[in-house]
Structure 1
Amino acid sequence: MSAASPTGASGAFTVTTPDGAVLQAFVEGAGPALLLVSGLGGTAGFWKGTTATLARSFRVIRFDQRGIGASTRGSATCTIDQLARDGLSVLDAAGVERAVLLGHSTGGCIGQALGRIAPERLDGLILSATWLKPSHYMGALFGARRAILAENPQAYAATAVLISYPPAWLEANWGVYEAAIAAAPVTPEARQVVRERIDALLSFDGSADIAALPMPTLVLGARDDMIVPSFLQEELAAALPGGRSILLDSGGHFFPVSRPDAFTAKVVEWIGELA
């Protein structure tokens, strides 16, 4: 693994993994390290609206996952464990020995895997809009989304946005929808990256390891989430001995975007309690 960034510096840097993926990463702010890991979309840009606030309290690290955004794919098989190892490579390149990991949706599965692979690297784990193991609901939902992707990438992008946000919020922020359509995975390469990521998340099952995770853990979600319903988040929280659970009354699956103030307040408060 190699990095193109001086340890401790702020700004953009790249990380080259052993299989040749080049990951684009960013560091902002100062304080305890906070690694942000986004979901199926896999972009550092998911956190753009909350990074400025979080960077007032933390050294925030975020990155485009392999094959996404400005990061190249590499040759390794895309699994949740591999994506967790990529997160460790980013921490290493940033010169961070220990961090709190905040993972949203698939990013929370990645966080669970990283906590199992390298528990000594995590001071805490925030599982945002995340689940524990396969379910009928998510299998059917993502199977349908994968089929839509194969036939019509623009329809895939449209439905993804429509089920990710509260309808009233999306109506008032319609540019989010238009941007998603413009960024639809229309090339064969882009569709393949999304397909393999869907396969990876559907294969994830953390139930055998969740009770052994030693770090403090927060399950954070929204009750109106249509992608990872609250009953799945409650199941995850129940499997965590001593874990804490906070479910906002609204915000949809992408509540970090639609309710940034409530989201960042809960994150800052919980990490502050760790100290």
Structure 2
Amino acid sequence: MNALVLIHGFMGGGAQWEGYIDGLAGQFDLITTDLPGFGARSHLSPIDSIDGYADWVIDNLRKAGVVRYHLLGHSMGGMIAQEVALKDNDRIDRLVLYATGAIGVLPGRFETIEESKRRAQEEGSAATARRIAATWFVKREAAEGFERCATIAAQSKLPAINAGLDAMQSWSGKQNLSQIEKETLVLWGDRDRTYPWTQIQKLWTDIPNSSLAVVPDCAHAVHAEKPELFGRLIADFLAR
């Protein structure tokens, strides 16, 4: 059975996928990650660069004996996945870039990274977790998956929040998009408040062998807002 590695995003965790991608479990060996400083690894020192996170992911896949795999990255995890795709090209079959972009300063985001840093310092990590998690959903705090998402986000402490924001702010992958060789699916919810269409269009047009899936009436958490459709899109792409 082919492996599918899933990399979560900023203030996410491996638990964010549970119950939402069950349909993929019978088709792929699902491997979820918890990046240092986030989720189940919130006790570990965070990494402050996208490149550093990519090296960490590759090292852990080697230790786990994963030889070949499909790769999916969500949000900040999509930035990490772009770097992994360049560094570990020979082991990757297909790539899914989900609700992400190639410009780490996040132009068009619901607030600038500098604003997020300032507010996290002033409001604390718990309040920041709930505020950021709400932006993932069209219905914000009223969304069915909000509380679960906020609980996972709340595992991230201020050092991890700052490190993640620094990692994104200092990164750009736009100069490397033409070097991504693997067949790639760019997947996006059309009401995403973090990555506007310009970011998605850049991935779609600049990665040579890419396809685009736009899911209507979804924000940043398509997997939680429309899990069945999300699963079908992923399965169809990886089964071609």
Q: TM-score, normalised by structure 2?
A: 0.90
Q: Does 1:143 align with 2:114?
A: yes
Q: Quick one: distance in 2 between partners of 1:201 and 1:89?
A: 21
SS in 2 for 1:124: strand
Q: Quick one: distance in 2 between partners of 1:193 and 1:159?
A: 16
Which among 98, 102, 109 is matched to residue 132 of structure 1? 102
- Specify whether residues 140 and 106 from structure 1 end up closer, same or farther in structure 2 by C-alpha distance, changes over 3 A only: same
SS in 1 for 2:154: coil
| CA displacement at 1:115 relative to structure 2 | 0.9
Structure 2 partner of 1:66: 36
- Specify whether residues 222 and 182 from structure 1 end up closer, same or farther in structure 2 by C-alpha distance, changes over 3 A only: closer
Which among 185, 207, 213 is matched to residue 218 of structure 1? 185
Higher relative CO (Cα under 8 Å, sequence separation at least 6) belongs to 2
Which of structure 1's runs of 4+ aligned residues deviate more than 3 A? 181-186
| Uncovered stretches (5+) of structure 1, i.e. residues with no partner | 1-30
Structure 2 partner of 1:158: 130
- Asked if structure 2 preserves the Cα contact closer than 8 Å seen for 1:34 and 1:58, the reply is yes
- Asked if structure 2 preserves the Cα contact closer than 8 Å seen for 1:51 and 1:60, the reply is no
SS in 2 for 1:245: strand
Q: Quick one: distance in 1 between partners of 2:176 and 2:130?
A: 35
Q: Quick one: distance in 2 between partners of 1:178 and 1:148?
A: 22
- Asked if structure 1 preserves the Cα contact closer than 8 Å seen for 2:99 and 2:187, the reply is yes
| CA displacement at 1:87 relative to structure 2 | 1.3
SS in 1 for 2:56: helix
| Uncovered stretches (5+) of structure 2, i.e. residues with no partner | none
Q: Quick one: distance in 2 between partners of 1:97 and 1:183?
A: 31
Which among 66, 71, 80 is matched to residue 101 of structure 1? 71
Letter of the 2:138 counterpart: P
Structure 2 partner of 1:85: 55
Q: Quick one: distance in 1 between partners of 2:47 and 2:34?
A: 17
Q: CA RMSD in A?
A: 2.2
Q: Quick one: distance in 1 between partners of 2:148 and 2:89?
A: 40
Structure 1 partner of 2:91: 121
